[in-house]
Structure formats: structure tokens, C-alpha cells
Chain A
Amino acid sequence: MTSLEVRRGGIGLLRDLSFKLSPGQTALVTGANGSGKSSLLRVIAGLAVPAAGRIDWRGSAVHRLPPEDRGEIAYLGHLDGLKQEFTVDENLEFCRSFWKGREPVEPLVAEMRLESYRHRNIRRLSAGQRRRVALVCMRLKPARLWLLDEPLTNLDTRGTEVVIEWLKGHAAEGGIAVVSTHRPKRLETAASIEVAL
């Protein structure tokens, strides 16, 4: 159902890379710094256009997906995408209504242990706490394909465990995930394929 094939020339980051993911699979993209992990995820998300080759999501090229189908893809880059001036709750509320998410916010906030910070501005949170909010925000999108770029950055052990649980749950529901990391050890229990760059 999903055939994924990337060929990227240009600066010559990635070349002749092809892989295919089926429902329920989680791919771990590993490689050294600068090997093109983030570029690969941005191309898959449709933020950048590949120099050659194509990426298909359910049969149509990903960067030409009509807006209403783009809701099926959730991308979390290394920037958190949160507004500093807003509180945790305000950010999450915007996420939910913009993406028309149906998932309830409360359990996710509780899982990430953010209850006591809900009315605090993002500016006043630590980097790890911001990452947690960004991950909850990602979960609020009704997406079937998750693209996570180094999701564990700044997360503590507990946060890492939650992300692993989420990935497993997502796969069990037939979702697909592509996760980049330079420390594959921590995520390998959740991964079914490893793509080494």
C-alpha cells in the first residue's frame, strides 16, 4: 500500500535509496551527523522536493498530496513548532483544532507528565519539557504516518519510554512511522526495519 523510494542527488546526500513500508512497520533511520537523516525526513514529509526519484504515499506523490490528505502525515522536526508566548494548553488547543484531531488531550498530557505545567508559557519550560509538549502536539494529529526527527532529543528515561510505547501502539494500530536517531540502541525495541545512511 505504501511504496517509498528516494533518490536524491543535488549535494549528493543520499543516492539510490529505496525502501517500502507497509502498515504496522516502523523504520529507524540511523547514520552519523550530517548523513542526511533530517533531509530524508523532510523529503518524505513533502517539505523539500527530491532531486530525483519519487516518494509515494498511498499511490500519489507526497509533495503533491492535496491538503486534505496531508493530515495523514505528522512531521516533527528538530524544531518544536510551539509558540513561546502561548501556554502549553494554548499550544495544544491550536494543534488540535488546526489538525482537526479527535484524540483527547488529557491522557496524553498525563502520560507525558505535563499536568502541572499546563498554564505555563513555553518560554518558561525546559528543553525536555518543550519536546514533550511537541510530541503531544504530534499525537493530536489524526495521522497514519509519523515522521519523527530525533524525537528523543532532551528527553529523560521516562519520556523515552513513553515515546517507545507510543510507537509500538501506533504500529499495532496499523500505523507507519519513520524515526531518525543517531542512538539506535534506545529505540530498537520499537523498530521493525533499520535504514542505515
Chain B
Amino acid sequence: MLDVVRQILLRDLRLAFRRWSEMATPLIFFVIIASLFPLAASPDEAQLRSTGAAVIWMSALLSSLLALDGLFRADSEDGSMEQLILGPAPLGLVVFAKIVAHWAVSGVPLLVLAPLAALSFYLPLTALPELIAALALATPTLSVLAAIGAALTVSLRAGGTIIGLLILPLTGPVLIFGTRATELAALGEPVAGPLYLLASVAVLAVSLGPPITAAAVRTALE
């Protein structure tokens, strides 16, 4: 069982690095939005600090939208998805591995880039560990939501644009708890509350997401 997860994970990671431009686009997009915002707003330190958390989280959400169309599309267009559905492993496990791979190339780099963006919003250095922790708990949920959206729209031609409409409303809890944690951290307050909530949302998403996604993929390719 675990062997299948490892095989799919390695395969998807290798594919992602072969198509590195697809992988890099959302990350560069994130950096650009986060650095254009201070130019558009007034460069006032107090104001940037108060909007910083919101901007970083919104940029993270939007950039994760860019990364998700390829999650199942390439595999279903070249016929690999049919083979994976018929394979000797439960499709839920295969989907789980694909989500982990997606998170590794779209979520993990955000953990590195977000603190850099935070500096341009005068977020205190002491708040960075909490920001990274909040993103580490939030990005798996975003990857699972991305997978559900990608699976539901895989058979549509212009699926990429519809996914945003499907997925963005569902990211509400992640956005609320994530920005709250970051704001509290910036003020030097304890952040355990919103982090626990982010963690519980992540547990819910990671446990229920793969079977739901698997069912959606199966239906889409029928």
C-alpha cells in the first residue's frame, strides 16, 4: 500500500521538475502580487503592517489556484488516469499521493517565500515562525480543495477558470484562521487558537478529501 503512495509521489515529483516552468509560475505570481501591493498602497509602515497578513494570505490563495489545473488534466488527457483507475491500488491512495506531490511543489515553496514577502510588509521577525506554522497547516487543506476542484472539472475544456469559482468560497475558513494567526503573531499575542483550528480543518480535509476526489475522478472519466 505504502509502496504505491511512494511510486506515485516520486513519479509526480519527477514530472513536476521536468515541467519546472509550470511549477514556478504560481510561485513567481505569488511574489509579484505580494510585492506589487506595497507599491499600490501608501508606503506608510503602520498601514502596510495592518494589511500585510491579509495580502500575504490572499496572494497565497490566488497563486495556489494557478497551480491546480494540471493536477489531473495531464494524466487524463494522455490516458494515464485510466490506467491509474484500473490499477491494482485503491484510487483513494493514488489520489492521496498525487495531492502530497502537489503540496510539495506548490505549498512547501510558499513556506519559504511567504516570510520574505512578509518582510516587505514590516511584519516583525518574531512573527515569522508563526506565519510559517500557519502556512504549513493551511497549505495541505488548499491542496486538497484544489484536488477536489481539479477532479470535478477535469472533463471540461475550460476547467481552469471554473475551478476558482468552485474552490475560492471553500477556502474561507483557511483564510480567516490564517490571517488571524498572522495578525496575532504580529502583535506578539498567543496564536495557539487559530493554529489549532487550522490543524483541525487540515485533518478533516486530508482524511475526507482523497475518497471524495477519487469518486469525482472516476465519474469524470466514465
Contacts and interface: CB of A to CB of B under 8 A. Distances in A.
Interface of A: 45-49, 67-68, 70-71, 73, 75, 77-86, 90, 94, 97-100
B88 A85 contact: no
B79 A100 contact: no
Nearest to B76: A79
Specify which of A46, A47, A98, A100 lies most central, judged by the most chain B CB atoms within 10 Å of its CB.
Answer: A98
B88 A68 contact: yes
Interface of B: 4, 7-8, 11, 14-15, 18-19, 77-80, 82-83, 85-90, 221-222
Contacts of A78: 79
Nearest to B10: A94
A94 B86 contact: no
Contact of A77 (B4, B15, B79): B79
B87 A85 contact: no
B88 A99 contact: yes
B102 to A, nearest CB: 16
Contact of A46 (B4, B8, B78, B86): B86
Specify which of A68, A70, A73, A81 lies most central, judged by the most chain B CB atoms within 10 Å of its CB.
Answer: A81
Nearest to A80: B79
Contacts of B89: 67, 98
B90 to A, nearest CB: 5
B171 to A, nearest CB: 30
Contact of B88 (A46, A48, A86, A100): A100
Contacts of B90: 67
B86 A75 contact: yes
